[in-house]
Structure 1
Amino acid sequence: MPVLTTDRLRLDELTDADLDDVAAMVADPAVMRFYPAPLDRTGAQRLIDRNRARYTELGFGLWAVRTHAGEFVGDCGLTMQHVDGRDEVEVGYHLRTAAQGHGYAAEAARACVQHAHQRGIERVVAIVDHENLSSQRVALRAGLLLESVLDHGGRSTHLYATTVEGPGPDE
């Protein structure tokens, strides 16, 4: 049973059966360009395990993103991040290189933001590297607005945010 569905996508909890797809995605240097380094298979398994624990602890995490036909395109979901001295719910996403440029990230992220608001989470953020222009566009298309530029983990990042009171232009 999907956690969320959109016109073209379904978001499901990650399972061990997703390891091959997740491992291939997070090993891709293009996908992981704005992260410290690509992940090996062990790192991919840890990503799955961490998110499965989040489902139990928080009721959310990163979910597998698939087309309705079942093709794995990436992951997207909600995580807790410590940003600028406070805990925030972040919408995050990774897409396979072949799946980029089709609007999947924005579609999945928008659904996750709406899901968060339906759960009573008033504020959702996206933390985006200042050089990651495509991810900045995803945040905007998901209904988040640029709030500030800050140092996060030693890198200049853009903090996008939305609230129930002040949704972005697509909501």
Structure 2
Amino acid sequence: MLPTYDAVMVPPSTARLRFRQMTEDDLDVMADLLGDPRVMEFYPSPKTREAARAWIEWNEANYAAHGYGLWIVEDHNNTFIGDCGLTWQQVCGRRELEVGYHVRTELQGRGLATEAAAACRDHARSIGVEHLVAIIHPENVRSQRVAVKIGLSLEAEDSTGGMRRLVYGGNL
């Protein structure tokens, strides 16, 4: 049986962003985010409302099992930006901790994904994580730039799940 975590520690706030746990109350904003064809351009397809609900439930389970997952990212005025955080993934036949990030289409290109991902990288370091990856579609150049900006470099190519993916990684 996995341990459960009573207190989920979110990354500290940044100059523009703050983090909080994802809950069922976030279904509308998460369904909009994950249902946006531009946000989900490099996924097999945008997610349905029910798939967004499952995404939230997956993160709630991650909080309970690990003390972290993907968090809601907001600005300091409570404006929803997207999600960003840490999740365990299968990569190249091994289990790796990934930093993942999604930002609303109209807010992309402002450095918000980089700021959020850097905060999550620093949080991972603070909880003793030694190696972090970002799994990125080969054509997703913007996400690749975010990974490089937070200190990750191309380590491998992977096709877990039948999709070709680039694995950016780095020791913390």
> Does TM, normalized by the shorter one, top 0.5?
yes
| Residues in 2 aligned to 1:40 and 1:156: alpha-carbon distance in whole angstroms | 23
Equivalent of 1:107, from 110, 115, 123?
115
Deviation per CA, 1:16-35: give whole Å up to 9, x if none.
11111101111111111111
**Residue 145 (structure 1) shift:** 1.3
Identity of aligned residues (%): 48
1:3 aligned partner: 10
2:76 aligned partner: 68
| Residues in 1 aligned to 2:104 and 2:123: alpha-carbon distance in whole angstroms | 23
- Structure 1 vs Structure 2 CA RMSD: 1.4
Residue 25 of structure 1: SS of its match in structure 2?
Answer: helix
| Residues in 2 aligned to 1:62 and 1:109: alpha-carbon distance in whole angstroms | 11
1:169 aligned partner: none
Residue 48 in structure 1 maps to residue 56 in structure 2: yes
Letter in 2 for 1:22: M
Conserved? CA contact 2:153–2:170, under 8 Å: yes
1:138 aligned partner: 146
1:32 aligned partner: 40
| Residues in 1 aligned to 2:89 and 2:155: alpha-carbon distance in whole angstroms | 16
TM-score calculated relative to the size of structure 2: 0.91
TM-score calculated relative to the size of structure 1: 0.92
Conserved? CA contact 1:2–1:11, under 8 Å: no
Equivalenced residue count is 164
Conserved? CA contact 1:2–1:10, under 8 Å: no
| Residues in 2 aligned to 1:61 and 1:27: alpha-carbon distance in whole angstroms | 20
Deviation per CA, 1:105-130: give whole Å up to 9, x if none.
01100111111111001000001111
Residue 27 of structure 2: SS of its match in structure 1?
Answer: helix
Residue 117 in structure 1 maps to residue 161 in structure 2: no
More strand by share: 1
Runs of 4 or more above 4 Å deviation = none
Residue 92 in structure 1 maps to residue 116 in structure 2: no
Q: Which runs of 5+ in 1 are unaligned?
A: 165-171
Bigger RCO (CA 8 Å, 6+ sep): 2
Conserved? CA contact 2:91–2:158, under 8 Å: no
Letter in 2 for 1:147: E
Q: Which runs of 5+ in 2 are unaligned?
A: 1-7
